[in-house]
Structure 1
Amino acid sequence: MRYFLVLVVFICFKSNAQEVDKGSWYVHLVSGSAAGEYKTYLDNYNRKTSKIGFDGGFLFNLQRKSGVNSPMQIGAEVGFMPWGTDPVDSQIGGSFSNSHRSFWINGVARYRPILAASKVNPFFDLFIGPEFVNSTITEVLSSGETTNIIKVAKTTKNYGLGAGLGIKRENRNGELRYVDIGLYYQYAEKVRSIRRNSAYILSDGTTDYEETIIKPTTIQVKLGFTGFL
Structure 2
Amino acid sequence: MKPIIYLLIVLNCLIISAVAQDKTEKYLEDKYSWYISLNLGNAVGNYQKILEDADKAGTKGGLVIGGLMNPYKRSKASTVFYGGEFGFQSNGRDKTPISASLGDFYVANHSFWLNGVARYRPILWSSKLNPYADAFFGAKLIRTSVVEQFGQDESEILKAVNKLVPNYGAGVGLGIKLSGQLKNNYLDIGLYYQQADATRIVKPNSVEINSTYQASFKQILTSTNQIVVKIGLAGFL
Q: TM-score, normalised by structure 2?
A: 0.84
Alignment of structure 1 residues 139-150 onto 2, 5 Å: 139-142=148-151, 144-150=153-159
Matched, 1:228 2:223: no
Q: Identify unmatched segments of 5+ residues in structure 2.
A: 1-26
For 2:215, the equivalent position in structure 1 comes to 207
Secondary structure in structure 1 of the residue aligned to 2:164: strand
Alignment of structure 1 residues 63-82 onto 2, 5 Å: 63-64=72-73, 67-82=75-90
Measured in 2, the distance between the counterparts of 1:64 and 1:143 equals 50
How far apart are residue 205 of structure 1 and its match? 2.6
For 2:41, the equivalent position in structure 1 comes to 32
Please tell me the residue identity of whatever aligns with 2:45: G
Measured in 1, the distance between the counterparts of 2:64 and 2:153 equals 30
Please tell me the residue identity of whatever aligns with 1:209: F
Worse-matched range after superposition: 139-148 or 114-123: 139-148
Measured in 2, the distance between the counterparts of 1:74 and 1:45 equals 39
Residues 114-169 of structure 1: per-residue CA shift (max 9 Å, x gap): 00000001000000100000000000114740100100011001111100110011
Q: Which runs of 4+ in 1 moved over 4 A?
A: none
For 1:218, the equivalent position in structure 2 comes to 226
Measured in 2, the distance between the counterparts of 1:187 and 1:143 equals 36
State whether residues 177 and 183 of structure 2, in contact with CA within 8 Å, keep that contact through their aligned partners in structure 1: no
Identity of aligned residues (%): 38
**Which of 101, 111, 122 lines up with 2:110 in the alignment?**
101
* Number of residue pairs matched by the alignment: 210
Residues 103-122 of structure 1: per-residue CA shift (max 9 Å, x gap): 10000000000000000010
State whether residues 171 and 177 of structure 1, in contact with CA within 8 Å, keep that contact through their aligned partners in structure 2: no
Q: Identify unmatched segments of 5+ residues in structure 1.
A: 1-17
Measured in 2, the distance between the counterparts of 1:167 and 1:197 equals 42
CA 1:94–1:56: 2 relative to 1, 3 Å: same
How far apart are residue 22 of structure 1 and its match? 1.1
For 1:90, the equivalent position in structure 2 comes to 99
Please tell me the residue identity of whatever aligns with 1:213: L
Measured in 2, the distance between the counterparts of 1:170 and 1:208 equals 55
CA 1:178–1:207: 2 relative to 1, 3 Å: same
For 1:6, the equivalent position in structure 2 comes to none
Q: Which structure's CA Rg is the greater one?
A: 1
How far apart are residue 182 of structure 1 and its match? 0.8
CA 1:224–1:142: 2 relative to 1, 3 Å: closer
CA 1:35–1:19: 2 relative to 1, 3 Å: closer
State whether residues 48 and 84 of structure 1, in contact with CA within 8 Å, keep that contact through their aligned partners in structure 2: no
Please tell me the residue identity of whatever aligns with 2:77: N
Measured in 1, the distance between the counterparts of 2:187 and 2:151 equals 45
Secondary structure in structure 1 of the residue aligned to 2:178: strand
Worse-matched range after superposition: 33-42 or 43-52: 43-52
For 1:10, the equivalent position in structure 2 comes to none
For 2:163, the equivalent position in structure 1 comes to 154
Instruction: Give 1 or 2: higher strand fraction.
Output: 1
Measured in 1, the distance between the counterparts of 2:203 and 2:41 equals 20
Matched, 1:185 2:174: no
How far apart are residue 20 of structure 1 and its match? 2.5
